[in-house]
């Protein structure tokens, strides 16, 4: 039986793991009781009194209710299946797995065990995007025409086992489908290898969602300019969300409705009011951990599920295939 406090192990103490360690110490109702990393605590992320193990099995024996998995993607399946077999709820960093078959096995294992399985698609918890999703759902844009994202910046030394599509573009795939509340239908892409690494480091993606929204995504590890921008255009205007600053701005379509047919025929889009919203800005990683905690306790279900992560990975693999073959892929 799980006690009043959820006992959590952190698996992986690398660049992302150290942030999880910091945030876990501040989540109400959660206690970081163990960590796992065969390389040790190189970033000195752990506080006093948290034992460090070299294997997941040791952490399970120590006694845990849940785990955060922040190891290289290639190890997600093996570690996740081990934790599922032990009855441990998991938050697995994105992408959910290295390929679709591995992701499917994770989904099946956690479903069969009746456990909470979440994926760390952290952009869903960004205050700018959360506000944007609520406003789209409320009809503030009317019909949505297009969602375009730009995600670029210097190469992160933490990544070695996947390319820019599975590491970065998965953020945009997930947030786009989540904002629009519709999955992808078709994908076309072009990618490039410009930095000498084995995986792609630049990709341009165009697609269409099942509800007809057109999408565009520019993603790379080659720019000295760091951008994290989502632009959503619809019949009433355009929203621009900057997820680095967590700012949301609305550019209204200034067109005024008219019943005068001869004038209405010549109406186009014109510049209207611009509004920058004042948002409560809580750290997305903390909100993500609170959502994971609440899902375990049965209070709410705002997590990115393993099945969500699998859907995103399926689109990412279609992006890679579309780029390789220079053909459009139907999801």
The mean of the pLDDT values for the chain is 93
49 sits in the region (left: phi over 0; alpha: psi -120 to 50; else beta) called: left
Cβ 15 vs Cβ 68: under 8 Å: no
Give the pair of three-digit tokens for residue 74.
Answer: 């290639």
> pLDDT tens digit string along 40-63?
988 888 877 899 999 999 999 999
Cβ 243 vs Cβ 126: under 8 Å: yes
Pure H helices in the chain? 15-24, 56-62, 76-85, 100-113, 127-137, 164, 170-180, 261-264, 284-297, 306-325
pLDDT band per the 50, 70, 90 thresholds, residue 1: very low
Residue 99: CB atoms within 10 A of its CB come to 16
> pLDDT tens digit string along 81-115?
999 999 999 999 999 999 999 999 999 999 999 99
Torsions phi, psi of 26, nearest 5?
-110, 10
What domains are there in the chain, each with its CATH number?
Answer: 6-122+286-304 (3.40.50.720), 124-280+312-330 (3.30.360.10)
Average pLDDT over residues 242-247: 96
Residue 294: CB atoms within 10 A of its CB come to 16
Entry pTM: 0.91
For residue 128, give the nearest of 238, 284, 253 by alpha carbon: 284
* Higher-confidence position of 328 and 254: 328
* Higher-confidence position of 265 and 180: 180
Q: What is d(CA 253, CA 272) in angstroms, rounded to the nearest whole number?
A: 5
Cβ 228 vs Cβ 243: under 8 Å: yes
- What pLDDT, on the 0 to 100 scale, is given for residue 44? 87
Q: What is d(CA 99, CA 69) in angstroms, rounded to the nearest whole number?
A: 17
Cβ 114 vs Cβ 296: under 8 Å: no
């Amino acid at each position: 039986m799980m006690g009043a406090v959820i006992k959590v192990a952190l698996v992986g103490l690398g660049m992302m793991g150290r942030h999880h360690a910091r945030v876990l110490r501040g989540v109400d109702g959660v206690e970081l009781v163990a960590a796992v990393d065969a390389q040790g605590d190189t970033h000195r992320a752990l506080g006093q009194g948290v034992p460090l193990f070299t294997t997941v099995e040791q952490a399970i024996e120590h006694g845990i209710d849940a785990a955060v998995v922040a190891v290289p993607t290639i190890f997600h399946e093996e570690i996740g299946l081990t934790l599922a077999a032990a009855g441990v709820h998991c938050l697995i960093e994105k992408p959910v797995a290295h390929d679709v078959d591995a992701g499917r096995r994770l989904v099946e294992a956690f479903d069969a065990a009746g456990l909470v399985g979440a994926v760390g698609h952290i952009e869903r918890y960004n205050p700018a995007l959360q506000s944007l999703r609520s406003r789209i759902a409320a009809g503030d844009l009317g019909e949505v025409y297009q969602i375009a994202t730009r995600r670029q910046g210097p190469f992160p030394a933490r990544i070695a086992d996947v390319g820019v599509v599975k590491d970065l573009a998965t953020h945009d795939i997930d947030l786009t489908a989540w904002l629009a509340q519709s999955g992808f239908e078709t994908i076309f892409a072009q990618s490039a290898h410009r930095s000498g690494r084995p995986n792609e480091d630049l990709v341009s993606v165009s697609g269409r969602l099942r509800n007809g929204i057109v999408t565009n995504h520019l993603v790379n590890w080659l720019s000295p300019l760091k951008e994290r921008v989502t632009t959503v255009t619809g019949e009433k205007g355009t929203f621009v969300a900057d997820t680095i600053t967590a700012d949301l701005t609305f550019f209204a379509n200034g067109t005024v409705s008219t019943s005068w047919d001869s004038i209405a025929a010549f109406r186009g889009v014109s510049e209207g009011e611009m509004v920058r919203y004042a948002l409560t800005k809580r750290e997305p990683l903390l909100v993500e951990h609170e959502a994971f905690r609440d899902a375990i306790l049965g209070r709410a279900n705002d997590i990115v599920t393993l099945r969500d992560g699998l859907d995103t990975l399926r689109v990412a693999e279609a992006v890679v295939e579309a780029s390789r073959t220079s053909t459009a892929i139907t999801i």
